[in-house]
């Protein structure tokens, strides 16, 4: 509904039913063609269409969080207005009623926030109930070119001060960071994360400057792990291991993170030796200076070898 009102492409269709979502999904699948997968805990179902597309169907429900950061307990069968009230932001608390009449359902002022360009939470404990909303807030703001409502910003900062992000699982944190890194305007989202203290709260490695320059060198269509590696900047093996553990990365993902492919800007000690620099500690110091200049965006990739040679000769002098 949000994207429809903004005139943006609508890629997903989510249906909400005041009643039996699973039964409705089965009947709809018979008419559309496809199979149904139900998720009893959350009173939802997914219709997988034969052409590879899917439709999500959910029962209206009330949610209760036993403690901060855990998945909620669900009670289905509430009015649509109450169901919309459990959403993350007002701009996502919009719906079109299809039956018995066609009307816009907007109990939370989401349409006005779309006009004003605001991302606004619905209650003061929203970020504590589900701390992944901290990351979703900046993702939506970056994608839509919106800003955080002042009270939302204040509650977000307060949640960070209470270490809210430490309460969510590695799997949920990794998924949210991956979604941010797969956004077209990932640099804007990361800039917001740095200014708000979110990046520091995830891991100090992610609070470094010069991200936009490193992303430009990474390219526009890289894998999310490549962007994560560029985001980290200079990092020791121990620092990489710490972040990899925090995100619950697999062995293959850890290898990809710690052993990025050698691109056109990389310089090896063998390159300097081939250019006449004698083996010794000067080479290691020169390479460290070169990596630092590249990470800070002070050096173009094509200049890396010449820079490293000058640094090595200066060190050896």
Task: State whether residue 98 is helix, strand or coil.
Answer: coil
Q: What is the pLDDT of residue 274?
A: 79
* pLDDT per residue as tens digits for the range 201-220: 999 999 988 899 888 887 77
* DSSP bridge partners of 45: 38, 57
DSSP letter for each residue of 158-227: HHHHTTGGGGS-HHHHHHHHHHHHTSTTHHHHHHHHHHHTHHHHH-GGGG-S-HHHHHHHH-SS--HHHH
The phi, psi pair for 51, rounded to 5°, reads -85, 10
Residue among 211, 215, 234, 232 at smallest CA distance from 223: 215
**Tokens for 280?**
């010794």
Scan for tokens 């709260």, then name that residue.
201
What is the torsion angle, in degrees rounded to the nearest 10, for the CA atoms of residue 110, residue 116, residue 118 and residue 123?
-50
The phi, psi pair for 315, rounded to 5°, reads -65, -35
Whether the per-residue pLDDT at 300 is higher than 80: the answer is: no
CB of 197 closer than 8 Å to CB of 165:
no
Q: How far is CA 194 from the centre of its chain?
A: 14
Task: State whether residue 52 is helix, strand or coil.
Answer: coil
CB of 289 closer than 8 Å to CB of 311:
yes
Residue boundaries of the structural domains of the chain: 269-316
Q: What is the pLDDT of residue 316?
A: 61
Please state, in angstroms and rounded to a whole number, the distance separating the CA atoms of residues 131 and 151.
16
CB of 9 closer than 8 Å to CB of 50:
no
* pLDDT per residue as tens digits for the range 11-67: 788 899 998 999 999 999 998 888 999 888 888 999 988 766 888 999 999 988 888
First to last CA, the chain: 66
Span 138-159, average pLDDT: 97
Measured on CA atoms in the order 238, 240, 172, 212, is the torsion positive or negative?
A: positive
* pLDDT per residue as tens digits for the range 239-278: 999 999 999 999 888 887 776 544 445 677 877 887 888 8
Tell me which range, 53-62, 146-155, 301-310, is most confidently predicted by mean pLDDT.
146-155
CB of 126 closer than 8 Å to CB of 155:
yes
**Tokens for 311?**
């640094």
């Amino acid at each position: 509904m949000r994207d429809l009102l903004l005139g943006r492409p609508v890629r997903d269709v989510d249906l909400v039913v005041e009643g039996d979502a699973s039964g409705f999904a089965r009947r709809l699948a018979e008419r559309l063609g496809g199979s149904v997968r139900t998720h009893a805990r959350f009173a939802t179902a997914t219709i997988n269409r034969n052409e590879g597309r899917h439709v999500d169907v959910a029962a209206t429900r009330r949610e209760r969080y036993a403690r901060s950061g855990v998945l909620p307990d669900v009670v289905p069968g509430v009015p649509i207005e109450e169901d919309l009230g459990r959403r993350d932001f007002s701009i996502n608390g919009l719906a079109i009623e299809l039956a018995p009449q066609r009307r816009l359902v907007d109990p939370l002022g989401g349409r006005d926030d779309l006009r004003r360009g605001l991302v606004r939470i619905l209650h003061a404990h929203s970020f504590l109930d589900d701390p992944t909303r901290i990351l979703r807030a900046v993702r939506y703001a970056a994608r839509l070119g919106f800003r955080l409502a002042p009270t939302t910003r204040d509650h977000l900062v307060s949640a960070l001060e209470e270490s809210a992000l430490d309460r969510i699982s590695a799997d949920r944190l990794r998924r949210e960071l991956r979604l941010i890194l797969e956004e077209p305007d990932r640099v804007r989202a990361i800039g917001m994360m740095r200014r708000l203290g979110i990046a520091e709260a995830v891991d100090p490695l992610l609070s470094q400057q010069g991200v936009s320059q490193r992303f430009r060198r990474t390219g526009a269509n890289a894998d999310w792990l490549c962007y994560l590696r560029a985001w980290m900047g200079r990092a020791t093996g121990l620092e990489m291991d710490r972040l990899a553990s925090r995100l619950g990365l697999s062995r293959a993902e850890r290898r990809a993170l710690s052993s990025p492919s050698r691109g056109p800007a990389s310089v090896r000690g063998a390159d300097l030796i081939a250019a006449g620099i004698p083996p010794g500690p000067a080479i290691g110091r020169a390479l460290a200076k070169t990596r630092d200049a590249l990470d800070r965006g002070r050096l173009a990739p094509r200049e890396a070898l010449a820079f490293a040679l000058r640094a090595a000769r200066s060190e050896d002098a």
